[in-house]
A and B are shown apart, each in its own frame.
Chain A
Amino acid sequence: MFATLKVQLSLSRPYLTRNELQQAYKNTIPDRRSYMQRKLVIFKFMSDICVQFQFPRKTLETAFYYYQRYYVFNKFETEMCHTVATTALLLSCKQVETFKKINELCIVSFRLRNINNINQDIIENFKKRIFQVELRLLEACCFDYRVNNRIHIDEYIVKFGKHLGFTYELCHLSWVISYDILKTDLLLILPQHTIALAILKVAFELLKLKDWPVNDYEKFKTNNDSINEAYFGVLNYYINAFDSCNLKDHTSSKFPPVSLEVFMQLKANSSPETGLKDFTMKETEEDKYLTTARDFTQRERRYVLSSKFVKEENAIINAKKRKLK
């Protein structure tokens, strides 16, 4: 009786710090290596679907946010990840208004995995699973549509680039980098405009330009710590995964030569590495938001965006509680 009356109230926290993520992954990702390997395969898979349908970059970006966000709160299982990926794309298409019929998405999703003799039954089954995952995905995001809602990384690159009077080459280079960066955790940690600005900074330095023109990040509605987090996030990605990056394959004469050493040099030039102030792992251990597995058997699972709402409701409940005594 008691159990069925329970309600779960979750406050949306659309971005998490590195330690927060690490804490959450303890519940959901038993084998980090296999998760990371899969992630690259899935990223390629999702990119291929986007190419097939000629989706803009923002569809991929939003979908990959969803894919990664899903595994912050749901257990990672290798067999399910193509389903999660296809669902992430379906939802992203709705979110960024590049709508595609689910049947078309499913068929391409099968074809790209070389699953051939598919019939309507198989598709219907797949769709059923997708519908389930879709709701879980939205729950993992707490139905928070403020993220991924308006302007995306590539669009910010163009807008900021234009505003700062940067060249076409610089923006193009940034655009290529931003594709690589979708593969990183940064999407879960920082909002798009901050990532875009940090990417522009990296590209600026790769082109060996002097005097980075932005010193007041507040004007761009961000701050030093966030920019540094993103900036070092970009450099560390290339230092750790240079062999699998896409940037190295872009050998246009307009692009500067890139190599592992170049990125290591950039990092050395800007050391010490700084970023967002993080919680200690001990603090995150006490954060039930991250440590408790989501319980989907709860009768009412509520999702709210503002802590003000939660506080007000808590106050009302406390007042009632005093009356009950």
Chain B
Amino acid sequence: MLKNYQPFNKKKVSRLRTALNSCLKMANNDIDGTVIVSEYTKEKKVGEGTYAVVYLGTKQSTGRKIAIKEIKTSEFKDGLDMSAIREVKYLQEIQHVNVIELVDIFMAYDNLNLVLEFLPTDLEVIIKDKNILFTPADIKSWMLMTLRGVYHCHRNFIMHRDLKPNNLLLSPDGQIKVADFGLARAVPSPHESLTSNVVTRWYRAPELLFGANHYTSAIDIWSVGIIFAELMLRIPYLPGQNDLEQMDVTFRALGTPTDRDWPEVSTFSLYNKLQIYPPPSRDELRKRFIAASENALNFMCNMLTMNPVKRWTAAQCLESEYFKEIPPPSDPSSIKIKS
């Protein structure tokens, strides 16, 4: 399919100008089902995920740089991938500066293409690139933008379910964009059961580690808390090698939850196998996060509260003292991420 997809070529355009002109005349009369010039070009492959190939392209009418996610069709076992469906479904609903914009959808022959805003980098790249220096104010700015995006999803009753540094993309003007809604879903009603097999392991909330079949948007906040820790440490905070080890790593670092602060947590079937660790003392946390202020530690601890009911909501996070104390969050466009 792709071979047929010749990038739009400027010389060809001028040769076709007359033809296009008559075509444009037709386009003026009516909106629906009319003919307009070809809109999107694919210029260069920039990445590939499990269910899509991503290209850099241009929107012809505006000259805007965009990313085109071409959904792979041939290899599907169950038809159009769930991730593609979820991505379209939820991005259609959400418009926010801190959530990736779905610009358009088109079919080319039998391929589905999602047109997204082009975002040149992501937080994972930045965290890993040791040549890039960033300040506590930069971290605060990224946390603020991330939480604004997450809050917007949650107030629209959408859980992201896969927050991690590599899904927090950055625009050329420094804005964080929550991206990759391939695992997202609507906040469930009380009796609906869900799969706990969501979220990349290191960012998985304790209720998911326990295999809960009902959970809420609180799982996203846990992920944000872990991302915050990772930004401060510049290495993954709780990198478990496998699912069982993830529990051990998590509880060794943050204490095993007990029925006292999380009623009935011991009724999860996996609970009996657990080693009981005490929660870390404040001093211990201060040592772990040397540069963090008391308010920053509070902010983190409240996102990493074991009991999902007691964990802060996105709104509570946004109102935390951490954002009010100095240093103020950096202006996104001023953060230098080029090494």
Query: Which residues in A have some Cβ–Cβ distance to B below 8 Å?
Result: 1-2, 5-11, 13, 87, 90-91, 94-95, 97, 99, 101-102, 127, 130-132, 134-135, 138-139, 143-146, 149-150, 287-289, 292, 299-305, 307, 310-311, 313-314, 316-318, 320-321, 324
Contact = CB atoms under 8 A, between A and B. Distances in A.
Contacts of A8: 33, 35
A316 B77 CA distance: 41
Contacts of A99: 82
A172 B109 CA distance: 47
A292 B34 CA distance: 10
Contact of B110 (A5, A132, A149): A132
Given A145-B88, A288-B30, A314-B27, A324 B36 contact: no
A321 B77 CA distance: 45
Given A99-B82, A131-B76, A139-B107, 8 more contacts: A2-B16, A95-B89, A146-B93, A300-B107, A302-B106, A303-B106, A314-B28, A316-B62
Contacts of B79: 87, 90-91, 102, 127, 130-131, 134
Classify chain B: how many residues form its interface, as a range: 35 or more
Given A90-B79, A132-B110, A134-B79, A5 B20 contact: yes
B12 to A, nearest CB: 9
Given A146-B92, A300-B108, A324-B21, A134 B36 contact: no
A10 to B, nearest CB: 6
B14 to A, nearest CB: 10
Interface in B86-127: 88-89, 92-93, 104-110, 112
Contact of A301 (B25, B93, B106): B106
Interface in B30-72: 30-40, 61-62
B24 interface: yes
Given A146-B93, A303-B106, A138 B80 contact: yes
A300 B106 contact: yes
B32 to A, nearest CB: 4
Given A7-B38, A287-B32, A102 B80 contact: no
B91 to A, nearest CB: 9
Contact of B107 (A135, A289, A310): A135
Contacts of B16: 1-2, 5
A138 B92 CA distance: 14
Contacts of B107: 135, 139, 300-301, 303
Q: What 8 A-B pairs are tightest by C-beta distance, nearest first?
A: A145-B89, A289-B32, A302-B106, A301-B107, A2-B19, A102-B78, A316-B61, A134-B79
B33 A10 contact: yes
